[in-house]
Structure 1
């Protein structure tokens, strides 16, 4: 008799994302994202998949070039091309900028991956309230 062993289906970690509620007032920060690493190719697909549908298709992402690991100028996410841009501006050190043509721009605070939960939770809550 042959027994087939089934390996458990790998669980995907939950996306650590908090978004500010929509209001008529412009905000400097639209929420917070706490990635598990600075590997943009590994982290970006889950972030984009977890965004509200109302944001539309994100076509451009800008991150701090000194913080994130090297990445190509474009990547395919859910069968759509996303342009990856890098900046070295000090003001963008802990943010990621998401652009969707005709829909808008969203700036998210990036909580460093090695941050403890005790430290990350208040940062994310403050960003979701609109304070960075």
Structure 2
């Protein structure tokens, strides 16, 4: 009887380019689930080439239903800690050689387009945006995009005619909304 090992999942990861610019984040990680024991090994495998042997991870437990104290990874054991004071959308990884790596953690249920925007934004070298700011900005962007889509859908159901020009609230001039701009 032959036993075939299940392939390891690959990490959905975006890292800042190696540069002297230091920012708030070193990149973003988009896990497949909220199971740290299953998700951490492929992440650590993907990061150790750049950051060296990662020995500790810190998370905020509000985003993880179970936070194991130790997780076996390739060649060693990873110690996992949790801090409620830590940004819930950030993971801190510690290594012997590089020191620290801070990653935005994108919720697994995030739509692919939003995850792509977040991964790109978190990998900008020297960015001063924190994990929490990126997540709240994306929530606002997603809301604006949903509003624009529903406005377009409403326009399609009313025959596609343009709405009448709106009055400017201050000057009284006529404003013609641009396509995709939500109506007031």
TM-score of Structure 1 vs Structure 2, range by shorter chain: 0.7 to 0.9
**Aligned residue in 2 for 1:96:** 91
Whether 1:111 and 2:106 are equivalent positions in the alignment is yes
Whether 1:87 and 2:83 are equivalent positions in the alignment is yes
d(CA) in 1 for partners of 2:34, 2:58: 13
Q: Going by fraction, where is strand more abundant, 1 or 2?
A: 1
Change (3 A) 1:58 1:10: closer
d(CA) in 1 for partners of 2:50, 2:8: 24
Q: How does 1:6-17 map to 2 (within 5 A)?
A: 12-17=8-13
Change (3 A) 1:58 1:13: closer
RMSD: 2.2
Moved over 4 A (4+): 8-13
Q: Deviations over 1:28-82 (max 9, x none)?
A: 1000000011110010001011115131110000011111121331222113021
**Aligned residue in 2 for 1:69:** 65
Larger Rg: 2
- Where in structure 2 are there 5+ consecutive unaligned residues? 130-184
- Where in structure 1 are there 5+ consecutive unaligned residues? 1-7
Q: Going by fraction, where is helix more abundant, 1 or 2?
A: 2
Query: Match for 2:119 among 105, 121, 124?
Result: 124
TM-score (norm 2): 0.62
- 1:60 is paired with a residue whose SS is strand
Deviation of the 1:109 alpha carbon: 0.3
Aligned residues: 126
- Structure with greater contact order relative to length (CA < 8 Å, sep ≥ 6): 1
Change (3 A) 1:22 1:36: same
**Aligned residue in 1 for 2:35:** 39
**Aligned residue in 1 for 2:180:** none
CA contact under 8 A between 2:53 and 2:97: conserved in structure 1? no
Whether 1:19 and 2:15 are equivalent positions in the alignment is yes
d(CA) in 2 for partners of 1:122, 1:107: 18
